[in-house]
Amino acid sequence: MTTRIAGVYNIMATPFHPDGAMDEASLRRLVNFQLDKNAYGLTILGVLGEAAKMSVDERRRVMELVVDEVNGRVPVVVGVSHAETATVIALSRAAFEAGCAGVMIAPPRLDAPTDDQIYSLYADYAAGFDGPIIVQDFPPVNGVIMSPDVLARIAENIPSARYLKLEDPPLMQKIGAIRERTGKFAIFGGLGGMFFLEELERGAAGTMTGFAFTEILVAIFEAYRDGDIAAATRIFDHYLPLIRFENQPIINLTVRKELLRRRGAMESAALRNPFAPIDAGTHAEIDRVLARVGISDPAQKITFASPAAG
Walk along the chain (310 residues) and give the pLDDT tens digit of each residue. Answer: 467 899 999 999 999 999 999 999 999 999 999 999 999 999 999 988 999 999 999 999 999 999 999 999 999 999 999 999 999 999 999 999 999 999 999 999 998 899 999 999 999 999 999 999 999 999 988 999 999 999 999 999 999 999 999 999 999 999 999 999 999 999 999 999 999 999 999 999 999 999 999 999 999 999 999 999 999 999 999 999 999 999 999 999 999 999 999 999 999 999 999 999 999 999 999 999 999 999 999 999 999 976 544 4
Check: CB of residue 95 under 8 Å from CB of residue 63.
yes
Domains in the chain, please, with CATH?
Answer: 7-309 (3.20.20.70)
Nearest partner of 195 among 236, 248, 153, judged by Cα:
236
**Integer angstrom CA distances of residue 159 from 47, 155, 207, 214, 225:** 25, 7, 21, 30, 26
Distance (Å, whole) CA 155 – CA 218 = 27
Side chain identity at residue 40, one-letter code = Y
pLDDT at 306: 62
Distance (Å, whole) CA 177 – CA 164 = 13
Separation of CA 209 from chain center: 3
Q: What is the DSSP letter of 40?
A: S
Nearest partner of 136 among 171, 104, 111, judged by Cα:
104
Contacts 24+ apart (CB under 8 A), 151-157: 151/178, 151/181, 151/182, 151/185, 152/178, 152/181, 152/182, 152/185, 153/115, 153/119, 154/118, 154/119, 154/122, 155/182, 155/184, 155/185, 156/182, 156/184, 157/119, 157/123
Q: Would the pTM of this model clear 0.85, i.e. be above it?
A: yes
